[in-house]
């Protein structure tokens, strides 16, 4: 496993100190750098969990058509063109004619495009060979299938019931929104949708203990039009007949696959049939592009371009453009040389730390800091002292005093010492292209040997500086009886030049470094367990 460095996002928590690296909550608070955002206004890191998300546009994932939001509702969030999903495997279906001359092979080849053939047409899955003729869904002509299918969906009893319910509540909603609580909607912009409002007021009415969600003035509530609502009568009386048929079905069940799996049922639009033979093709659900905002200051962090398939963004404030990138590796020059001697070209993934981290050993590592800013920065690193694992994680066999000793010690350049990292300049990007690595790598090899060959404490400090990268050496000393993984929190602070020419600004964040799993010493292990 390659060593990783993950970055901490406090997620608006008041306590900026992350949990110890071995705590289960730790993995939820640390993210790879490229998944984080940075709010300039708040001067803070934001992650996908603590940004507020808005839909900026809808598109069909199959035909990539951008659906205007006005028609999204009418089309019930599904594609209104010729995109259908197989009810069995969720693959895209293609329209095929029931041409008798076409064999199985022919079906595969005609795949959707310019179908010429005899009606009736049906939908066919290229993957699991399901076809819609099995459930009596056939079409006279190969166009406008979505409309036909939607008509079918809309005539489902559940859908009609829902429409009626909506109609029933519509006057009430309109009245309540016009009598409105402007200040309430302002303070909760995320919850202004009418269904939430209706649900919360219904809940407040039915259950005395529940406070109505919208903090409306007390006096107004009594006068509200809510009481004028007439009683709702459902279209059909719910009777218990359905259950017996299901029992019957289950009794005659021969194979598990006859029952529709949960994943097959919940993609279905209205009816969620129990039998897999009742599953019907559905139109493909739309997907959306999202705008992301900082949840504290409401500034936009991510704003995609309008075009659905564009990967560019109008606004993109990602942490990688603000925080220094860090990567960690174990130097292994000998190994690389061995590899070169071998005739086969091999993957690089297994070279790092290939020898493994043996308990009782000392391993130097290299930490590369890359500056994304156009100004030079000074970085200070501080590894959090290794807290002995709490009693519940301590091995059952280990005696208490043994568990108290930290399993490993990390040595980094002293926290006071500032590590300079040069500014980023576009020119280096081009140099990258122009093969500067030929010469550079020899140098790298030398450095590596020096770092690796140096005794205790020698390899600690700045090893190499090139372009906007500074490589820092550190080492980890693993205890004799240590086990588990080498994971520690590291506090990183860096100073950068601010708009104010006199004072430099400082930014501090936590990271968690995972160097890998300790290989226990087998001999010691057997003795202690006795």
Among positions 127, 232, 249, 430, the unique one binding another protein when judged by CB under 8 A: 127
The H or E element that residue 266 is part of is helix 262-266
94 binds another protein (CB under 8 A): yes
Q: What angle do CA 213, 214, 219 make, to 5 degrees?
A: 115
Give the residues across from 287 on adjacent strands. Answer: 59
In angstroms, give the least distance from the CB of 112 to another protein: 6
Residues 348-367 that bind another protein (CB under 8 A): 348, 351-352, 366
Are the beta carbons of 478 and 362 closer than 8 angstroms? yes
Nearer to another protein, 65 or 152 (CB): 65
Instruction: Look at residue 244 and give its three-state secondary structure.
Output: helix
336 binds another protein (CB under 8 A): yes
Other Cβ atoms closer than 10 A to 141: 11
Kindly state the tokens that stand for 76: 């019930």
In angstroms, give the least distance from the CB of 320 to another protein: 6
Kindly state the tokens that stand for 4: 């990783």
Query: What is the Cα–Cα distance from 89 to 190, expressed in whole angstroms?
Result: 35
Give the residues across from 292 on adjacent strands. Answer: 53, 302
Q: What are the φ/ψ torsions at residue 367 (nearest 5 degrees)?
A: -115, 120
In angstroms, give the least distance from the CB of 79 to another protein: 11
Which residues, other chains included, contact 466 with Cβ-Cβ below 8 Å and sequence gap of 6+?
Answer: 440
State the sign of the Cα–Cα–Cα–Cα dihedral 443, 446, 452, 458.
negative
Query: What is the Cα–Cα distance from 126 to 384, expressed in whole angstroms?
Result: 55
Residues 428-447 that bind another protein (CB under 8 A): 432-433, 435, 437-438, 441, 444
Which residues, other chains included, contact 204 with Cβ-Cβ below 8 Å and sequence gap of 6+?
Answer: 210, 211, 212, 213
Among positions 14, 193, 230, 343, the unique one binding another protein when judged by CB under 8 A: 343
In angstroms, give the least distance from the CB of 265 to another protein: 16
In angstroms, give the least distance from the CB of 223 to another protein: 46
Query: What is the Cα–Cα distance from 51 to 53, expressed in whole angstroms?
Result: 6
Size of the site for another protein (CB under 8 A): 60
265 binds another protein (CB under 8 A): no
Among positions 183, 187, 246, 310, the unique one binding another protein when judged by CB under 8 A: 310
- Burial of 149 per CB tally in 10 Å (0-12, 13-18, 19+): buried
In angstroms, give the least distance from the CB of 80 to another protein: 17
Among positions 1, 17, 55, 64, the unique one binding another protein when judged by CB under 8 A: 64
Nearer to another protein, 74 or 311 (CB): 311
347 binds another protein (CB under 8 A): yes
**Three-class secondary structure assignment of 453-484:** HCCCCCCCEEEEEECCEEEEEEEEEECCCCCC
Instruction: Look at residue 526 and give its three-state secondary structure.
Output: helix
Task: Spell out where 359-484 has E strands.
Answer: 362-370, 377-383, 408-411, 419-421, 461-466, 469-478
Of 421, 417, 414, nearest in space to 377 by CA:
421
In angstroms, give the least distance from the CB of 256 to another protein: 19
Among positions 34, 174, 314, 458, the unique one binding another protein when judged by CB under 8 A: 34
207 binds another protein (CB under 8 A): no
Nearer to another protein, 239 or 340 (CB): 340
User: Segment near another protein (CB under 8 A), from 230-238, 248-256, 343-351, 385-393?
Assistant: 343-351
User: Segment near another protein (CB under 8 A), from 168-176, 237-245, 340-348, 498-506?
Assistant: 340-348
Kindly state the tokens that stand for 331: 């130097």
User: Segment near another protein (CB under 8 A), from 38-46, 68-76, 179-187, 316-324?
Assistant: 316-324
Nearer to another protein, 465 or 483 (CB): 465
91 binds another protein (CB under 8 A): yes
Nearer to another protein, 112 or 376 (CB): 112
Kindly state the tokens that stand for 260: 């529709």
Of 158, 149, 151, nearest in space to 283 by CA:
149
Indicate the DSSP class of residue 13.
Answer: -
In angstroms, give the least distance from the CB of 212 to another protein: 35
427 binds another protein (CB under 8 A): no
Rg (CA), the chain: 32
In angstroms, give the least distance from the CB of 97 to another protein: 13
Nearer to another protein, 471 or 490 (CB): 471
In angstroms, give the least distance from the CB of 89 to another protein: 5
User: Segment near another protein (CB under 8 A), from 203-211, 301-309, 380-388, 391-399?
Assistant: 301-309
Other Cβ atoms closer than 10 A to 407: 21
In angstroms, give the least distance from the CB of 209 to another protein: 39
Residues 129-158 that bind another protein (CB under 8 A): none
The H or E element that residue 58 is part of is strand 51-59
Nearer to another protein, 181 or 290 (CB): 290
Which residues contact another protein (rule: CB under 8 A)? 34-35, 59, 61-64, 89-92, 94, 106, 108-114, 116, 126-128, 287, 290, 302, 308-311, 313, 316, 318, 320, 327, 329, 332, 336, 339-340, 343-348, 351-352, 366, 368, 432-433, 435, 437-438, 441, 444, 469, 471
């Amino acid at each position: 496993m390659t060593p990783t460095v993950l970055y901490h996002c406090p997620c608006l928590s008041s306590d900026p100190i992350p949990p110890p690296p071995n705590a289960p909550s730790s993995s939820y608070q640390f993210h790879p750098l490229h998944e984080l955002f940075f709010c300039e206004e708040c001067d803070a890191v934001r992650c996908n969990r603590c940004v507020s998300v808005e839909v900026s546009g809808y598109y069909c994932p199959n035909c990539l058509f951008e659906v205007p939001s006005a028609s999204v509702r009418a089309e019930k969030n599904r594609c209104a063109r010729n995109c259908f999903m197989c009810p069995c495997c969720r693959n895209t279906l293609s329209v095929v004619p029931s041409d008798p001359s076409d064999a199985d092979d022919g079906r595969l080849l005609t795949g959707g495009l310019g179908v010429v053939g005899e009606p009736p047409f049906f939908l066919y899955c290229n993957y699991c060979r399901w076809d819609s003729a099995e459930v009596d869904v056939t079409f006279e002509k190969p166009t406008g299938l979505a409309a036909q299918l939607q008509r079918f969906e809309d005539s489902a009893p559940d859908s009609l019931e829902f429409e009626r319910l909506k109609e029933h509540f519509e006057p009430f909603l309109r009245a309540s929104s016009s009598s409105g609580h402007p200040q309430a909607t302002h303070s909760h912009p995320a919850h202004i949708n009418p269904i939430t409002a209706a649900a919360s007021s219904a809940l407040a009415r039915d259950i005395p203990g529940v406070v109505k969600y919208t903090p409306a003035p007390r006096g107004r509530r009594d006068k509200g039009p809510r009481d004028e609502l007439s009683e709702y009568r459902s279209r059909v009386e719910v009777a218990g007949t359905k259950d017996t048929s299901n029992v019957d079905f289950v009794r005659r069940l021969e194979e598990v696959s006859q029952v529709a799996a949960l994943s097959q049922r919940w993609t279905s639009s209205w009816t969620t049939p129990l039998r897999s033979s009742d599953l019907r093709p559905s139109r493909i659900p739309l997907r959306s592009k999202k705008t992301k905002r900082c949840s504290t200051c409401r500034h936009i962090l991510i704003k995609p371009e309008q075009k659905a398939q564009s990967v560019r963004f109008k606004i993109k404030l990602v942490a990688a453009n603000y925080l220094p990138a860090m990567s960690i590796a174990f130097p292994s020059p000998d190994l690389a040389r061995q590899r070169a001697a071998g005739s086969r070209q091999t993957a690089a993934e297994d070279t790092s730390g290939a020898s493994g981290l043996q308990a009782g050993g000392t391993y130097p590592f290299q930490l590369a800091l890359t500056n994304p800013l156009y100004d030079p920065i000074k970085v200070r690193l501080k590894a959090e002292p290794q807290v002995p694992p709490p009693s519940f994680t301590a091995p059952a066999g280990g005696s208490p005093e043994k568990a108290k000793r930290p399993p490993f010690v990390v040595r980094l350049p002293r926290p006071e010492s500032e590590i300079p990292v040069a500014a980023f300049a576009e020119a280096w990007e081009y140099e990258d292209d122009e093969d500067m690595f030929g010469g550079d790598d020899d140098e790298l090899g030398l450095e590596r040997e020096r770092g690796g060959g140096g005794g205790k404490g020698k390899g600690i400090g700045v090893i190499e500086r090139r372009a906007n990268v500074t490589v820092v050496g550190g080492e980890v000393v693993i205890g004799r009886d240590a086990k588990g993984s080498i994971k520690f929190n590291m506090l990183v602070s860096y100073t950068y030049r601010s708009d104010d020419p006199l004072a430099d600004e400082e930014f501090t964040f936590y990271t968690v470094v995972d160097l890998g799993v300790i290989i226990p010493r087998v001999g010691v292990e057997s003795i202690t367990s006795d």
